[in-house]
Amino acid sequence: GAFIGKTMIRSFAASSAVAETNSEEAEEESSELNESDASLDYLCNLSPHRFQALYASNLPQSITGEEFIEKYGDHGDSVTSIDRNGTYSIMAPTKHPIYENFRVQAFKALLTATPSEEQVIGLGELMYQCHDSYSACGLGSDGTDRLVRLVQNMEKLKHSKTENGTLYGAKITGGGSGGTVCVVGRSNLRSSQQILQIQRKYKEATGFMPYVFEGSSPGAGKFGYLKIRKNSAPLSSI
C-alpha cells in the first residue's frame, strides 16, 4: 500500500509540475517543489503539511490491483508484486511514514526539553498517536491494543491525576504485529504499582501473564562495542 501510495503521489506531483510549466503565473519555488515530489524516494521525506494540502484528498482509501496497474503501471518495488485481483489499502500505509517521521522528530526534540509535566504529556501523546497510526495499517494485534488501552485507562484514573500523573503513554514496539508494548511513565513506586495492575488485568482478561521489562541499559556508550571487519584476504586452499 505504501509503495502504491508513493507512486500515486509522484504521479500527482508530476502532473502538477507539467501544468505549472505551461502556466505563465507559476512560481519557480512551487514548480521546484512539485518536481522534487515527482521524484520522491521515501514517503518520510514528504512533510505532513504538504501531504495534507496537496495529496491527501486525491488518495483513495483503497484501490484494486487492476485499477492501479491500468492507470499507473508499476509500483516501484522489486520485492513485491501487484495482484490484479487484490484490493490494497492506500491511505493508512501512505500516511503512516509521513506523519511517523514527524512524530519521531518531535519526540526527539521533546526529550531535550526542560523536564516538566507538559513534556511527558507530549511524549505520551506522541506514543499514542504512533500506536494508532501503526494499528490503522493493519500491523497491530489484539494483545498490544489491549495493553495500550489498559495504560490509557490507568492514566485517566482519578488517583493518577491527583498525583500529577504517573503513566503517560504507550505504543507497540519491536518487530511489529504484536509482542511488545513500550510504556513511558515517571520513575517512582506508583508507576511500578500501576504497571503490575495492568499486568494482572491483562492476565484476568486473556489468561496470559505479560512479562515486564523495566528500566534501560546505558548501552554501547557505557559498555563499548565490537567492530567486525570483513577479512579481504583469500582463504588458503586445502
Residue 37 in contact with residue 9, Cβ under 8 Å?
yes
- Which alpha helices (H) appear in 22-112, and where do they start and end? 28-38, 48-50, 65-72, 91-111
Other Cβ atoms closer than 10 A to 213:
8
- The mean pLDDT of 170-187, rounded to a whole number, is 83
What is the reported pLDDT for 76?
87
**Mean pLDDT lowest among 104-108, 128-132, 228-232:** 228-232
Q: Is 125 a residue whose pLDDT tops 90?
A: yes
**Cα torsion angle, 48, 54, 60, 63, sign:** negative
What is the reported pLDDT for 140?
86
What is the reported pLDDT for 21?
45
Q: Which three cell numbers stand for residue 9?
A: 503521489
pLDDT level of residue 66 (50, 70, 90 thresholds): very high
Q: Is 65 a residue whose pLDDT tops 70?
A: yes
Distance CA 166, CA 228 (A): 42
**Cα torsion angle, 183, 187, 191, 192, sign:** positive
